[in-house]
Amino acid sequence: MMKHSPDDLKLIEDAVRKAELKTCGEIVPIIYNKCSNTSFVLPVLFLFLFLIWHTFQDWYFPVNYWEGNLFLQLVFPPLFIGLFSFFLSQRSAVQRLLVPKNRREKVIRDRAELEFYRCGIPLTKDKTGILLFVSLMERYSVVLADKAISEKLPPETWNDVLKILNSGMKSHQLAKGFVPAVEKCGELLAAHFPIKKDDMNELPNYPILRLDYE
C-alpha cells in the first residue's frame, strides 16, 4: 500500500496554508489507508486456493507420490496455502479486486460524509469549509463542500480536483496529487470567497490520518 512520508504530509500542510492565504475558505485533507472491510479476503482466498489444490493434486501427485509422509500429504499443503493466502490478502490490488466497486464507492462516500461532520467543517463561521478525502487502498477520492460553497459552485466543479487526487494515488505520489489539488481548490475558493481582514484559521491545515475503517 502507498506510504505517506513526513515530507509528503508537510508539503500538503504547506499547500493548505498557502491556499488559505487568499480565501476565507477552509480546506481539510483527510487520508485513510482504507475504508472497506477486507476481513473476508483471507478466508475467501484460502478456500479458493485450497479448492484448486484439492482439485488438481491427483493430476500432478499420484497416490504413492508422498510415500506415506503424512506431513507432506496432510500438513504442508494447507500450511503453505494459508501463508500464501495471507501474503496475497495484504496486497491492495487483491483487496480492490475482491471488494465490489459499487460497495467500495458507497462505503467511502459514507465515510467522507461522516468525517465532514466529525472534523467540524459545518461549524465554520461562513460555511466555507471543504473536505478533500482520499482512501488509498481503493484509490478513490471525494470532495465535499459546505453550504455557502455549494450554493455558488456546482458539484461538477470538483471533477478536475478529483482527477488530480486520483492520479496522485495511482502514481504512488500522494503529495504530487494533493498539492495541485489543494492549489486548485484555493483558486476556486479565492474567486468567490476572498480573504477577509478579520479572517481566522478555524480548522487545522495538517492532513488528518486514519489507519483503517473505524
Which residues neighbour 195 within 8 Å (Cβ) at sequence distance 6 or greater? Answer: 21, 22, 23, 24
77 is a domain residue: yes
Domain total in the chain: 2
Q: Domain check: are 193 and 172 in the same one?
A: yes
**What does the pLDDT look like over 54-80, one tens digit per residue?**
777 666 655 555 555 666 666 778 899
Q: Domain check: are 87 and 62 in the same one?
A: yes
Per-residue pLDDT averaged across 108-130, rounded?
A: 94
The beta-strand segments (E) located in 124-173 are 129-135, 140-145
Q: Domain check: are 57 and 148 in the same one?
A: no
184 is a domain residue: yes
46 is a domain residue: yes
Report the chain's C-alpha Rg in angstroms: 23
- By the 8 A CB rule, do 131 and 142 touch? yes
C-alpha cell at 68: 506415506
**What SS3 state is found at 33?**
coil
Q: Domain check: are 196 and 119 in the same one?
A: yes
30 is a domain residue: yes
- By the 8 A CB rule, do 11 and 31 touch? no
Please report, to the nearest 10 degrees, the dihedral formed by the alpha carbons of residues 62, 66, 69, 71 taken in order. -90
Q: Domain check: are 119 and 182 in the same one?
A: yes
Q: Domain check: are 72 and 163 in the same one?
A: no
C-alpha cell at 158: 470538483
Q: Domain check: are 52 and 150 in the same one?
A: no
**13-17, 42-46, 172-176: segment of lowest average pLDDT:** 172-176
- By the 8 A CB rule, do 44 and 147 touch? no
pLDDT of 68? 59
1 is a domain residue: no
In the chain, pLDDT over 70 holds for what percent of residues?
89
Check which CATH number belongs to the domain holding 180 and give it.
3.10.310.50
pLDDT of 67? 58
Which residue range is the domain that position 84 belongs to? 41-98
pLDDT of 65? 54
Distance of CA 131 to the CA centre of its chain: 14
The mean pLDDT of the chain is 88
Q: Domain check: are 52 and 124 in the same one?
A: no
131 is a domain residue: yes
pLDDT of 14? 96
**What does the pLDDT look like over 89-99, one tens digit per residue?**
999 999 999 99
Q: Domain check: are 86 and 18 in the same one?
A: no
Q: Domain check: are 53 and 25 in the same one?
A: no
Q: What's the pLDDT band for 117 if we cut at 50, 70, 90?
A: very high
Q: What's the pLDDT band for 1 if we cut at 50, 70, 90?
A: low
pLDDT of 18? 96
**Phi-psi map region of 208: left, alpha, beta (phi>0 left; psi -120 to 50 alpha):** beta
* Pairing label, strands 140-145, 129-135: antiparallel
79 is a domain residue: yes
User: Quick check: 49 pLDDT over 90?
Assistant: yes
Q: Domain check: are 164 and 117 in the same one?
A: yes
Per-residue pLDDT averaged across 15-29, rounded?
A: 95
Q: Domain check: are 188 and 128 in the same one?
A: yes
C-alpha cell at 208: 488528518
**What does the pLDDT look like over 132-172, one tens digit per residue?**
999 999 999 999 999 999 999 998 999 999 999 998 888 88
pLDDT of 198? 84
- By the 8 A CB rule, do 175 and 183 touch? no
pLDDT of 170? 84
pLDDT of 3? 64
108 is a domain residue: yes
User: Quick check: 214 pLDDT over 90?
Assistant: no
In the chain, pLDDT over 90 holds for what percent of residues?
70
